[in-house]
Amino acid sequence: MAKPGGRPARSFAARARPVIEKHIPETRAPEAYWGARPNQCWVRWPRAGGGFSYLALRRHLGWVTGEAGVALEPVELNALPLGAADAPADAPGYRVRLAELLGEEDRWWPTGDTTEELVRQLEWIVLQIRVKADAYFVRHPLPRAAIGG
């Protein structure tokens, strides 16, 4: 779909990836694996103590949210169950939404009316995940093994 002036519109992933790379330096390494679908951008990278970390940004209509995950094996993001409490004992890992990291119910945040507002919201989400995720995963280790940070 073209914008006025003939330029094609950038995809959500094309806007989200630079935000993730800006605030999560590990995602700039060659070992980082990127995935994208319509309205979704995610990345997986090796953790220093073993296993893998995940970060995803999702958009639905005028709303965005983020997810963080950990896994023992390099699997696709959607292969990880959502929520630590719902992860079966044999799960390779799990993921949580930002709202859970903040101690809230399921919540999404508005995208704003401009590209600049969307980018600011995505940056806020990524920074919140950066600050909250590691401590959350230490308090909620995987059933099969502890993954160090």
- Given this model, what pLDDT does residue 7 score? 55
- Given this model, what pLDDT does residue 2 score? 46
* Mean pLDDT across the chain: 89
DSSP string, 90-131: T-SEEEEEHHHHTT-SS--EE--SSHHHHHHHHHHHHHHHHH
Which residue type occupies 71? A
- The whole-model pTM stands at 0.88
- Given this model, what pLDDT does residue 90 score? 83
pLDDT beneath 50: ranges in the chain: 1-2, 146-149
Burial label, 122 (beta-carbon count in 10 A; 0-12, 13-18, 19+) = buried
